[in-house]
Amino acid sequence: MVDVVTITQIGTTVLLGLAGAAIGFQKVVSSWKTTGVSTSILTLLHEEIVRTAKQNLEQKIALDQLQLGYNSLMIELGKLQLENQKLHAEIITLTNEVIGLQTALDRRKIQNET
């Protein structure tokens, strides 16, 4: 006959085994959930990286176009500055000619008055 202590020990062992199995099962389920969440997070991060990479490429293309436009404007500005310098030189030449003519007219006037 099985004595009460042995039955109690077997029952306790079975209960502890079941409790350990239940805890282990909960950890496995929790791990699966965590893995699922981690996978979802990683998927979202990957999608965000792909989206931002695409956006960065579009912005780089736009920036390159702006830089090309800027370079064209700087070249045009250089041409305009050269033209402006030529105009200033021509104005100085014309001003000197006007002064020369004015001086000649003033001399003639003085000569005619005498």
* Phi, psi (rounded to 5 degrees) for 112: -70, -30
Give the Å distances, CA to CA, from 37 to 25, 46, 50: 18, 14, 20
Task: Tokens for 75, please give them.
Answer: 């070249």
For residues 108 and 83, what is the distance between their CA atoms, to the nearest angstrom? Answer: 37
Intervals of the chain under pLDDT 70: 1-5, 29, 31-37, 114
Residue 80's pLDDT is 98
Q: How far is CA 42 from the centre of its chain?
A: 23
Residue 1's pLDDT is 47
Task: Tokens for 33, please give them.
Answer: 């959930």
Residue 3's pLDDT is 66
For residues 53 and 58, what is the distance between their CA atoms, to the nearest angstrom? Answer: 9
Query: Furthest-apart CA pair in the chain: how many Å?
Result: 164
Torsion of CA 46, 48, 50, 51, to 10 degrees: 160
- Look up tokens 């100085």; give the residue: 92
